[in-house]
């Protein structure tokens, strides 16, 4: 090859580090004792701020306040909106006082579609309707007040709006017994026993959180018995992952195996919940030999695990094992969430190196470009990442509760406040569900890997910018020639579907894009027969012109039902005729069965 060809340049020659995703400093070095002192102090502070950088917060508020202070036109606009909202409230209040008109007419303000705090019918009756509408009017005004101003950093505007929303949620009338009709009704009905039960729940939760003791699995939701119970064997294990091979459920199977790469941010059994809604169990039933990676739950001793470790000793080691157990067959690879991101990195590296072992690639709610990564970007800037790095440097990993708190904050109305009202004021116990049990079973993330992920992908977006290097050489997604099946979910706030759709911008292979209803997890766990499910599907041929996501959405009508059969048909068309199932593991080639599924790593707390 011509050494001047830009596609053959090394990352070092292009002025970039030769690491896969270079990160900020993650090690304390004795040469910088003062720096280590600073990092230790910031790490200690991070424990009190839940990992949120005070500087990033102050910068957003200051940016907004200064730009608003020198924008008299916006100030007049806000004054006009305040007057308009006040007029609407007074009109609504007057109308509600007219006998027979208390529930007539549409209220001037409505909660967001995902806000279920005001669903009780009594919120439509005075005085509760006035309190509700007053809160929503204030929410509307502050949302408008935090709209981006000319010259203001757009991320600071979004962060200010997000923080204002969090502050407003603390004073919602739904949070207080005397202003919430549902709480008042239940208090009268039970003679206050709901508040006693709620106090008991609050005390129990406080003790559990203070002792940092994980809650026991609810009866009927035990991992390995009721969840993650598809029969199989662990056929490979290293320090970073276990590889599970699932037992065949049909007399014959397609010769091409399926390898599933879940996200390391979660336990893999989101794809193997209860038998009726387990994607893995269903796929095995369609006549496939299915393998799945189960990541370890890292400890402080594993703080130096890198993103490259997850690619090489995770994805690539699993692929080597699959190809040994099922020799001479190409593999259908499937990555979910961040598992799809690391799979795309592995696939692009394989394409660059002439490795053609992949028959197809499926991405489930997985991003390859992070420029429009949704509200998670509110937590990512240089100050915030450095602050998190110092906290991880101090403890060796990102604690599961610290990451889970960020996800809950994105939907605080339901995941924090509505739950608190139900549990502490209505005195209701959380009703267990398989997805709820999985959601509470979070994992830690090693310090170095998470730092590399945040910097290289989220902060600097290197993968699609042509600046992501593996083993010293830049990779490109457009080198991938294997056909792709890409799934986005309509209401995803973790991997927004328009961001997932951008895979089309950076690849040129045959692609089927599916947009399914529901959110990040519910849209993927969408088994046949699940009520109120639909999807859209489109096909992009190699070399076709790009179609923007909104145009694509307008041109593809929804189809009722689950997208799973659509995926199965797509896989069938790219698979050989069914044949005898392969053996479980390959004892003669270093892959003997090590124990029954779901293995040991999924049980780590």
Closest-CA residue to 377 (of 454, 263, 491): 454
Strands (E), 44-175: none
Q: How confident is the model at residue 13 (pLDDT cuts 50, 70, 90)?
A: very low
Distance in angstroms (rounded) separating the CA atoms of residues 425 and 529: 36
Q: Is the pLDDT of residue 15 over 60?
A: no
Q: What is the pLDDT of residue 310?
A: 97
Across residues 205-224, what is the average pLDDT?
82
Across residues 105-132, what is the average pLDDT?
88
Between 445 and 114, residue with greater pLDDT:
445
Q: What is the pLDDT of residue 103?
A: 53
Q: What is the pLDDT of residue 14?
A: 40
Range with the poorest average pLDDT among 219-223, 343-347, 532-536: 219-223
Q: What is the pLDDT of residue 430?
A: 83
**Coil, helix or strand at residue 564:** helix
366 is written with which tokens?
Answer: 């997985």
Q: What is the pLDDT of residue 148?
A: 85
Q: Is the pLDDT of residue 580 over 60?
A: yes
Closest-CA residue to 483 (of 450, 501, 507, 464): 507
Radius of gyration (Cα) for the chain, nearest Å? 26
Q: What is the pLDDT of residue 21?
A: 45
What are the residues whose beta carbons fall under 8 Å from the beta carbon of 87, sequence distance 6 or more? Answer: none
Catalytic residue among 229, 296, 334, 337: 337
Between 398 and 69, residue with greater pLDDT:
69
Q: What is the pLDDT of residue 390?
A: 82
Q: Is the pLDDT of residue 68 over 90?
A: yes
584 is written with which tokens?
Answer: 């479980």
Distance in angstroms (rounded) separating the CA atoms of residues 80 and 174: 28
Distance in angstroms (rounded) separating the CA atoms of residues 338 and 560: 28
Burial of 4 (0-12, 13-18, 19+ CB in 10 A): exposed
pLDDT tens for 424-434 read 999 998 888 99
Q: Is the pLDDT of residue 410 over 70?
A: no
Whole-number percent of the chain with pLDDT over 70: 91
229 is catalytic: no
Q: What is the pLDDT of residue 402?
A: 64
Q: What is the pLDDT of residue 381?
A: 82
Burial of 385 (0-12, 13-18, 19+ CB in 10 A): buried
Q: What is the pLDDT of residue 100?
A: 61
Range with the poorest average pLDDT among 208-212, 255-259, 461-465: 208-212
Characterize the bridge pairing of strands 331-336 and 595-596: unpaired
Q: What is the pLDDT of residue 594?
A: 96
Confidence (pTM): 0.88
Asked whether the beta carbons of 223 and 603 are under 8 A apart, the reply is yes
Closest-CA residue to 393 (of 4, 26, 12): 26
Q: What is the pLDDT of residue 309?
A: 96
Q: What is the pLDDT of residue 404?
A: 64
Whether the CA torsion 228, 233, 235, 236 is positive or negative: it is: positive
Range with the poorest average pLDDT among 106-115, 461-470, 526-535, 585-594: 106-115
Q: Is the pLDDT of residue 32 over 90?
A: no
486 is written with which tokens?
Answer: 């890409």
Q: What is the pLDDT of residue 24?
A: 40
Across residues 191-215, what is the average pLDDT?
85
Q: What is the pLDDT of residue 7?
A: 43
Q: What are 332's strand-pairing partners?
A: 258, 360
Q: How confident is the model at residue 184 (pLDDT cuts 50, 70, 90)?
A: very high
Phi, psi (deg, nearest 5) at residue 248: -65, 145
Distance in angstroms (rounded) separating the CA atoms of residues 320 and 325: 9
pLDDT tens for 222-269 read 999 999 999 999 999 999 999 999 999 999 999 999 999 999 988 999
Taken in order of first residue, the domains within the chain and their CATH numbers are 57-189 (no CATH), 232-371+476-503+515-603 (3.40.50.1820)
Q: What is the pLDDT of residue 409?
A: 66
pLDDT tens for 267-323 read 999 999 999 999 999 999 999 999 999 999 999 899 899 999 999 999 999 999 999
354 is written with which tokens?
Answer: 């002439």
Distance in angstroms (rounded) separating the CA atoms of residues 198 and 437: 21
What's the mean per-residue pLDDT of the chain? 88
DSSP classification of residue 147: S
Range with the poorest average pLDDT among 79-83, 387-391, 570-574: 387-391
Across residues 557-568, what is the average pLDDT?
97
Q: How confident is the model at residue 1 (pLDDT cuts 50, 70, 90)?
A: very low
Across residues 191-201, what is the average pLDDT?
93
Q: How confident is the model at residue 210 (pLDDT cuts 50, 70, 90)?
A: confident
Asked whether the beta carbons of 505 and 478 are under 8 A apart, the reply is no
């Amino acid at each position: 090859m011509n050494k001047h060809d830009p596609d053959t340049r090394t990352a070092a020659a292009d002025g970039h580090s030769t690491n896969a995703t270079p990160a900020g400093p993650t090690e304390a070095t004795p040469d910088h004792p003062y720096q280590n002192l600073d990092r230790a102090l910031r790490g200690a502070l991070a424990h009190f701020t839940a990992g949120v950088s005070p500087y990033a917060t102050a910068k957003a508020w200051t940016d907004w306040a200064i730009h608003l202070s020198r924008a008299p036109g916006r100030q007049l606009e806000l004054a006009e909106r305040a007057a308009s909202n006040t007029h609407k409230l007074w009109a609504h209040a007057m109308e509600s006082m007219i006998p027979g008109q208390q529930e007539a007419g549409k209220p001037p303000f409505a909660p967001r579609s995902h806000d279920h705090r005001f669903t009780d019918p009594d919120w439509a009756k005075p005085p509760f309707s006035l309190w509700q509408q007053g809160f929503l009017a204030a929410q509307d005004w502050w949302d408008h007040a935090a709209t981006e101003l000319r010259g203001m950093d757009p991320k600071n505007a979004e962060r200010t709006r997000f923080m204002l929303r969090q502050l407003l949620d603390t004073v919602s009338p739904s949070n207080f017994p005397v202003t919430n009709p549902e709480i008042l009704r239940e208090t009268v009905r039970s003679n206050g026993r709901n508040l006693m039960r709620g106090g008991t729940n609050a005390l129990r939760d406080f003790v559990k959180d203070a002792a940092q003791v994980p809650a026991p699995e609810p009866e009927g939701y035990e991992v390995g018995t009721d969840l993650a119970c598809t029969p199989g064997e662990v056929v490979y294990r290293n320090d970073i992952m276990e590889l599970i091979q699932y037992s065949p459920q049909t007399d014959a199977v397609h010769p091409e195996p399926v390898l599933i790469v879940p996200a390391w941010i979660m336990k893999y059994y989101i794809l193997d919940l209860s038998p009726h809604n387990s994607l893995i169990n269903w796929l095995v039933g369609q006549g496939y030999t299915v393998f799945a990676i189960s990541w370890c739950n890292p400890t402080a001793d594993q703080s130096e695990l890198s993103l490259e470790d997850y690619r090489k000793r995770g994805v690539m080691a699993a692929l080597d094992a699959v190809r040994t157990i099922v020799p001479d067959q190409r593999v259908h690879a499937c990555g979910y969430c961040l598992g799809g991101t690391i799979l795309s990195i592995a696939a692009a590296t394989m394409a660059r190196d002439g490795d053609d072992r992949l028959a197809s690639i499926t991405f489930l709610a997985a991003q390859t470009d992070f420029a429009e990564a949704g509200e998670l970007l509110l937590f990512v800037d240089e100050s915030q990442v450095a602050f998190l790095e110092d906290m991880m440097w101090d403890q060796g990993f990102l604690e599961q509760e610290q990451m889970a708190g960020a996800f809950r904050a994105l939907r605080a109305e339901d995941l924090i406040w509505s739950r608190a009202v139900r549990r502490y004021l209505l005195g209701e116990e959380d009703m267990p569900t398989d997805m709820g049990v999985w959601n509470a079973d979070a994992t830690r993330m090693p310090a170095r890997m998470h730092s590399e992920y945040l910097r290289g992908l989220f902060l600097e977006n290197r993968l699609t910018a042509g600046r992501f290097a593996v083993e010293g050489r830049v990779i490109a997604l457009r080198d991938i020639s294997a056909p792709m099946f890409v799934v986005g979910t309509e209401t995803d706030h973790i991997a927004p579907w328009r961001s997932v759709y951008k895979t089309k911008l950076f690849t040129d292979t045959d692609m089927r894009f599916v947009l399914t209803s529901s959110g990040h997890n519910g849209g993927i766990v969408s088994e046949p027969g699940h009520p109120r499910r639909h999807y859209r599907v489109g096909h992009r041929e190699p070399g076709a012109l790009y179609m923007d996501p909104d145009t694509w959405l307008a041109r593809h009508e929804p189809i009722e039902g689950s997208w799973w059969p659509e995926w199965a048909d797509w896989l069938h068309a790219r698979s050989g005729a069914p044949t005898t199932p392969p053996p479980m593991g390959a004892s003669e080639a270093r892959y003997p069965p090590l124990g029954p599924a779901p293995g040991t790593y999924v049980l780590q707390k």
